Amino acid sequence: MNMIDKKLHTKRGVSRRQMLAGSAGLTFAFAFMPAMDGIEALAQGAAGKLNAYVTIGRDGAITIMTPAPEMGQGVNTVLPLIIAEELDADWSKVKVEQAPVNAAYNHPVFRAQYQVASLTTRGYWMPLRTAGAQARRVLLDAAATKWNVPVEELTTEPSTVVHAASNRKMSYGEIASFAVVSDKLPEIKPEQLKPAAQFRLLGKDVPRIDIADKSRGDQKYASDVQVPGMLYGTIVRAPARGSGPVSFNRDEIKMQPGVVDAVAFDHAIGIVAQTVPQLFEARHKVKATWKDVKGSKIDSDRDMKEFLAVVRDTSKKGVVVRKTGEAEPALAGAAKVISGEFTSPYVYHAQMEPMSCTASVTADGVEVWAGTQWPTKSVEEAAKAAGTTPDKVKFHTLQMGGGYGRRAFVEYVTDAVLLSKAVGKPVKMIQSREDDIRVGRFRPMSAQKVDVGLDADGKVVAWRHRLAAEPVAPYVYSQARLDADKGVDLIVIYGADMPFYDVPAHVTEHLYEDRGARVAAYRGIGAGYTNLANEAMIDEIALASGKDPFEFRLALLKDPRAKNIITRVAEMADWKRKRTDGRALGMAFSKLGLPPVGFSMIGTVAEISADRVTGKIKVHNMWSVADVGLPLQPNNVAAQIEGAMIYGLGGALKENISIKDGAVEQSNFHDYEVMRMSDVPQIQVEVVRSGDIPLPVGELGIGVAAPAVANAFLALTGKRLRDLPFSPERVQATLKA
Amino acid sequence: MAAISFTINGKAASVEAEPESALLWAVREQLKLTGTKFGCGSGLCGACTVHIDGQPVRSCQTAMSKVAGRKVTTIEGLSDTGQHPLQKAWVAEQVPQCGYCQSGQIMQAAALLATTKQPTREQIVEHMDGNICRCGTYPRIVRAIERAAKEA
C-alpha cells in the first residue's frame, strides 16, 4: 500500500485517468501481428514484439496475454475479458496465456508485475481497454482500406467487422491474413472506448477459465513442477528474523538416507535429498544453534502488555498518519470522552500450498518455476542468488496455492536457487507446514486505544486513534522507503482513517514497536484490526446516547454510497426485527482503497449466539452489501467477498500466533486453527454497482467480520469483546467481567 | 526401499518406496499425479485426500505398506472425462478460487455421495469438516454437493 500511496499522492493534479492509463511513462505494450499465425509471428518478430497482449491468427484464434499472476481472485479471466470486450472478440475463440516477466506487462501503479492491495483489475483497467480498442481499430482500418469505405461506416460484431451499408462482413481471421500494421499504433482516446451499457462480456458473469482444471486436478502449481533429474530441497530458517546458523549437525544430516547435501547459508540451513520423505526425515533431525538477534527475545504476551502501556501514555508520540482538524484540543474540551482499547495478535496467512519453488541453475543462467505475487522481484532475486543478470533468468509464473500477501515475499525463490546452485542440479524446494508456520511472516501484533470526544448534545467532536505495532514497510521494502513516506506505514495503519464518517477532528498515530518480528502484508492489511476499533467505538457511542447502531451510522455517514449500502444490508438482515431466540445482530461498515484510486465499501450484519458455558460464539448468518464501483464479474466479486468475510471470521474467532523466546509456538492446523465448514454461517452477499470504474475487491470483506461479531455480542450480552481472537476462553472471561 | 504394487486409477502400478513412507509422495512425485496436494503432512487439512478401495483417506498419513494390493483412486481417476457430477457442479457453482484444496474437497465429497445419495446439509458439513479451504469457498462447496446430489 505504501508504494501506491506515495506514487498517487505525489501526483496530485494529474487526473485519475492519466495516471492509471499510464500516460506518465507507462510503456504498456501491444503488438498486432497479421498474416502469420501467432507462434510464427512471435518467433520472427523483433524482441519488442514479444510483449504483445493480442495476437490474431488467420484461423480467427485470438491469443490474449494476461499480465498478472493468478492467486485465486480470478484476474486471469477478467483481465483478458477486458481486452476481449474492447476488441469485440468472440470469447469462445480466445486463448489466454500467462505473460512473461517483462516491463511491457507492468502494473501501471507499481511499475512492476506486482500484485497487492486489491489493485490488479483497478490498475490494468484502462491500459487493457486501450489495448483491446487499439487492436479493434487496426482491424477496422484494414477492412476499410480493403473495401474502400470510410472507417466510420464500419461496426463490429463478435470477431467480425460489418459494413451495414453494403451488407458485407469479414471475420477477424480473414482480416489478419492481409492486414498491415504500421509501427505507430492508432491513438485511442478514452471517449472512444466502449460505453459500459454496450458491454457484452463484462458484467455478464462469464465463467472463469480456470475452474474446470481446478475441479479435475489439472491446474499446475509451483509444487507440482517436475524437471528431469530433479532433487528435493528444503530450507531451515532461524526462529528469529535476521538470524542465521552458528553451527548445525551437518555430518549427521549428511549421513541420513538419501541426503545429497546439507549446507549452511548465511540465513539458513539447506538440505537436498533424493525423495521428499527422505528430505523431511532429515529435516526433523536438524539440531542447530542460531545467532542471537533482536527478534530472539520476542515474547508476545509480555510485548502486548508493553504495547498497551505505550498507547495509554499520551506523552509518547507516534508518527501522525492521518489528521483532520485538531483532535487534541477538541478532545480536551469535550463534554464527554468514550475510550476503548483493542488488541490483535500475530496471525498467519495459512495459504494452503506451503512455500515451494523449483530452480535449475546452469552455466547459462537459471530457470525458475514459482507462484508469486511479485514476478518482477522474483526474477531480480533469482538472478542475484544465481550470480547472474535478470536477462539470464527464465521465469515461469505459475498459479499460487493461495497468496493473501504471503507471496509478496519471494525469499523462497532465493532459497530454491541457492539449493540448486549448491548441488548443481535442478531442485524442487518444498517447505513443510511446520516450517511454513514456524518462520511465517505474520500480520503484526497490535494494541490500539481510541478516545472519542462528544459535545453536550452527544455529537462526535474529536477522535484520537493510537496504535502500537511493529512497522512492516522497512522489512517488506526498505527503511528508505518508509522514510520517503514520512514514516507512514500504511500496511500497519490502514483502515484507521474514517473518511466517510462525519468526524470533524481526527488523528491517527502509529507508535513503532520494533521488536524484530517477521511481519508482512496480510489480506486486508491493517483493516483486520483497525476497523474493529473504529466500528466497535461507533456502536459504543450510539449506545451511550441510546441510539440504534444502524440509525446512528446512517446519521453519521456522510457519503451517499455508504448510506445506501448500510440501508440495504439492514433490510436484508431484517434489522428492525429484534431477535428473541438467544441471538442478536451486529453491524459494521468498512472500505477499501485510497483517495486517487477510489474506495469500494461494504456494509455487513452478523447474527450470532453465544454458549455461556463453553464460551463458543456461533455465527448463524452474515449479510453483506458491497459497492465495488463497476462489478466486471459480479458472481466472482460475490465469491471474493464471501471468502474474505470467512477469512476475516477466522481472525475474529480463532487465529492466534504466540511467540516465546523468539520462537513461534504453533506448528500446524491443530494449534493454528482456521475456519472450517462447520464454523461458516449462512452468507448472503449483494453486489451493488456505482459508476463505471471497477474498484478494489479482493480484501474488502476482511474489515467487517470482527466488528460485526463484536457488536452483535455487545447487543446480545451488554459486554464488549476487545481482544482478538474472540476465543471461548476470552468470551468466558468477558462474560464474567 | 521395496517395490510396492497396487492399482491406481484402474491401472497396475509398482513403485520403489520405503514401506513407512506416505502414499502422497509416491502418487505425486513418482506416479506424477499431482492433482493430489500436500497441505499439512499431518492429516489436518484434507488436501491430500484419495480413495483406497472406495474409502476416503489422507494420503499423507497412509503408509505405502498399507497400500500394497489395493485400489487407489485420485482426482485424476474420479471420472474418465472429468465429468463426475461433482466436477460438473463445481463448475456450475464456480467453486474454486486458488483451487489448491479442491481435489481433496471433491474426493472427500465423492465418498459421501457414494454412500449417501441425498445428504442433508448437516451430513455434508459433518463429512467435509476435515477439509480446509483458506479461500473460504465453503458456501459454494455445500451448494455444489447439493447440486450434484440432485443432478446425479
Alpha-carbon distance A225 to nearest alpha carbon in chain B (angstroms): 9
Same domain, B115 and B144: yes
| Residue A577: CB atoms within 10 Å | 8
Is there a contact between B99 and A644 if contact means CB atoms under 8 Å apart?
A: no
pLDDT value of residue A161: 98
Over 80: is that where the pLDDT of A23 sits? no
Is there a contact between B25 and A636 if contact means CB atoms under 8 Å apart?
A: no
Same domain, B48 and B102: no
- The CA-atom distances, in angstroms, between A608 and each of A531, A619, A620, A702, B40 are 19, 4, 6, 18, 31
**Set of chain A residues whose Cβ sits within 8 Å of the Cβ of B106:** 215
Q: What pLDDT, in 10s, does the model give residues B41-67? A: 999 999 999 999 999 999 999 999 999
**What residue of A is the nearest CA neighbor of B100?**
A401
**What residue of A is the nearest CA neighbor of B80?**
A216
**Mean pLDDT for the stretch of residues A65-78:** 97
Same domain, B69 and B100: no
| Residue A109: CB atoms within 10 Å | 25
Residues 6-25 of B with CB under 8 A from A: 17-18, 21-22, 25
- Order of strands, sheet of A460-469, starting from the edge strand that comes earlier in the sequence: A319-324, A506-512, A460-469, A446-454, A336-344
pLDDT value of residue A27: 21
Is there a contact between A676 and B42 if contact means CB atoms under 8 Å apart?
A: no
Q: What pLDDT, in 10s, does the model give residues B139-152? A: 999 999 999 999 98
**What residue of A is the nearest CA neighbor of B82?**
A216
Over 70: is that where the pLDDT of A282 sits? yes
Over 50: is that where the pLDDT of A180 sits? yes
**Mean pLDDT for the stretch of residues A633-640:** 98
**Mean pLDDT for the stretch of residues A109-128:** 94
pLDDT value of residue A668: 98
Task: List the single residue in A400, A430, A643 with the smallest CB-CB distance to B136.
Answer: A643
Over 90: is that where the pLDDT of A9 sits? no
Fold of A222-293+355-430: Aldehyde Oxidoreductase; domain 4 (3.30.365)
Query: How does A19-45 read in b/e, with b if 16+ C-beta sit within 10 Å?
Result: bbbbeeebebbbbbbbebbbeebbeeb
With an 8 Å Cβ cutoff, is B147 touching chain A?
no
Is there a contact between B98 and A72 if contact means CB atoms under 8 Å apart?
A: yes
Secondary structure of residue A382 in the 3-state scheme: helix
Over 60: is that where the pLDDT of B100 sits? yes
For strand A160-163 and strand A168-171, is the pairing parallel, antiparallel, or unpaired?
antiparallel
The residue out of B77, B111, B127 marking a domain boundary is B77
Tell me the residue range of the domain where B91 lies.
Answer: 85-151
Over 50: is that where the pLDDT of A484 sits? yes
**Set of chain A residues whose Cβ sits within 8 Å of the Cβ of B128:** 677
pLDDT value of residue A494: 95
- Range name among A102-116, A237-251, A383-397, A399-413 with the lowest pLDDT average: A102-116
Domain of residue B67, CATH code: 3.10.20.30
pLDDT value of residue A120: 97
pLDDT value of residue A58: 85
* CATH architecture of the domain covering A300-346+442-736: 2-Layer Sandwich (3.30)
**Set of chain B residues whose Cβ sits within 8 Å of the Cβ of A75:** none
Number of domains comprising chain B: 2
Over 90: is that where the pLDDT of A240 sits? yes
Over 60: is that where the pLDDT of A186 sits? yes
Quickly state the pLDDT bin for A1 (edges 50, 70, 90): very low
Task: List the single residue in A208, A213, A277 with the smallest CB-CB distance to B25.
Answer: A277
**Set of chain B residues whose Cβ sits within 8 Å of the Cβ of A214:** 90, 96, 99, 102
Quickly state the pLDDT bin for A305 (edges 50, 70, 90): very high
Same domain, B73 and B109: no
Helix axes B85-92, B138-151, angle to 10 degrees: 130
Domain of residue B126, CATH code: 1.10.150.120
Average pLDDT score over chain A: 92
pLDDT value of residue A185: 78
pLDDT value of residue A52: 67
Same domain, B57 and B21: yes
Is there a contact between A215 and B139 if contact means CB atoms under 8 Å apart?
A: no
Looking at per-residue pLDDT, the higher value among A37 and B81 belongs to B81
pLDDT value of residue A356: 98
Q: What's the rounded Cα separation, in Å, for the pair A258 and A262?
A: 11
The residue out of B43, B77, B111 marking a domain boundary is B77
Q: What pLDDT, in 10s, does the model give residues A444-479? A: 999 999 999 999 999 999 999 999 999 999 999 999
**Mean pLDDT for the stretch of residues B118-132:** 98
Alpha-carbon distance B5 to nearest alpha carbon in chain A (angstroms): 19
Over 60: is that where the pLDDT of A25 sits? no
Is there a contact between B134 and A674 if contact means CB atoms under 8 Å apart?
A: yes
Q: What one-character-per-residue DSSP string does B67-134 give?
A: TTT-EEE-GGGS-SSS--HHHHHHHHTT--SS-TTHHHHHHHHHHHHHH-SS--HHHHHHHHTT---T
pLDDT value of residue B111: 98
C-alpha cell at A681: 454461517
**Mean pLDDT for the stretch of residues A189-210:** 97
In the 8-state DSSP scheme, what is residue A505?
S
Looking at per-residue pLDDT, the higher value among A694 and A47 belongs to A694
| Residue A122: CB atoms within 10 Å | 24
Same domain, B143 and B90: yes
Torsion of CA A404, A410, A411, A413, to 10 degrees: 120
Quickly state the pLDDT bin for A40 (edges 50, 70, 90): very low
Query: Does residue B90 come out as left (phi exceeding 0), alpha (psi in the -120 to 50 range) or beta?
Result: alpha
**Set of chain B residues whose Cβ sits within 8 Å of the Cβ of A226:** 29, 32, 34
Q: What pLDDT, in 10s, does the model give residues A510-532? A: 999 999 999 999 999 999 999 99
Question: Which are the contacts of A641, defined by CB distance < 8 A and separation ≥ 6?
Answer: A602, A624, A626, A685, A687, A697, A700, A701
**Set of chain A residues whose Cβ sits within 8 Å of the Cβ of B29:** 226, 232, 275-276
For an interface test with A, the pick among B100, B124, B142 (most A C-beta atoms closer than 10 Å) comes out as B100
Task: List the single residue in A403, A635, A644 with the smallest CB-CB distance to B94.
Answer: A635
C-alpha cell at B97: 478460487
Residues 47-86 of B with CB under 8 A from A: 47, 74-76, 82, 86
Query: How does A67-78 read in b/e, with b if 16+ C-beta sit within 10 Å?
Result: bbbbbbbbbbbb
Over 70: is that where the pLDDT of A234 sits? yes
Question: Which are the contacts of A170, defined by CB distance < 8 A and separation ≥ 6?
Answer: A143, A146, A160, A161
Short-list B17, B124, B94, B61, CA closest to A72 = B94
Short-list A494, A492, A584, A582, CA closest to A531 = A494
Report the share of chain B in percent with pLDDT over 90: 99
Backbone angles phi, psi at B128, to 5 degrees: -95, 0
Alpha-carbon distance B43 to nearest alpha carbon in chain A (angstroms): 9
Q: What pLDDT, in 10s, does the model give residues A371-403? A: 999 999 999 999 999 999 999 999 999 999 999
Is the separation of the CB atoms in A121 and A79 below 8 Å? Answer: yes
Domain boundaries, chain A: 2-214, 222-293+355-430, 300-346+442-736
Same domain, B16 and B43: yes
Is there a contact between B134 and A350 if contact means CB atoms under 8 Å apart?
A: yes
Over 60: is that where the pLDDT of A47 sits? no
Over 50: is that where the pLDDT of A339 sits? yes
Backbone angles phi, psi at A611, to 5 degrees: -85, 110
**Mean pLDDT for the stretch of residues A218-235:** 98
| Residue A705: CB atoms within 10 Å | 31
**What residue of B is the nearest CA neighbor of A639?**
B137
pLDDT value of residue A596: 83
- Round to the nearest angstrom and report the end-to-end CA distance of chain B: 43
**Mean pLDDT for the stretch of residues A567-582:** 96
Q: What's the rounded Cα separation, in Å, for the pair A628 and A229?
A: 48
Fold of A2-214: Aldehyde Oxidoreductase; domain 4 (3.30.365)
Quickly state the pLDDT bin for A41 (edges 50, 70, 90): very low
Same domain, B65 and B126: no
Is there a contact between A207 and B44 if contact means CB atoms under 8 Å apart?
A: no
Question: In sequence order, what are the beta bridge partners of A322?
Answer: A508
The residue out of B33, B60, B77 marking a domain boundary is B77
Q: Do A300-346+442-736 and A222-293+355-430 have the same topology in CATH?
A: yes
pLDDT value of residue A21: 28
Q: What pLDDT, in 10s, does the model give residues A659-693? A: 999 999 999 999 999 999 999 999 999 999 999 99
Report the share of chain A in percent with pLDDT over 90: 87
Q: Is 0.95 exceeded by the ipTM?
A: yes
Same domain, B18 and B54: yes
Is there a contact between A674 and B34 if contact means CB atoms under 8 Å apart?
A: no
For an interface test with B, the pick among A70, A71, A352 (most B C-beta atoms closer than 10 Å) comes out as A352
**What residue of B is the nearest CA neighbor of A436?**
B40
Torsion of CA A627, A631, A633, A637, to 10 degrees: -20
**Mean pLDDT for the stretch of residues A177-202:** 88
Residues 92-111 of B with CB under 8 A from A: 94-103, 106
Task: List the single residue in A207, A210, A674 with the smallest CB-CB distance to B132.
Answer: A674
Question: Number of Cβ pairs closer than 8 Å across A and B?
Answer: 172
**What residue of B is the nearest CA neighbor of A428?**
B29
Task: List the single residue in A210, A219, A275 with the smallest CB-CB distance to B25.
Answer: A275
Over 50: is that where the pLDDT of A51 sits? no
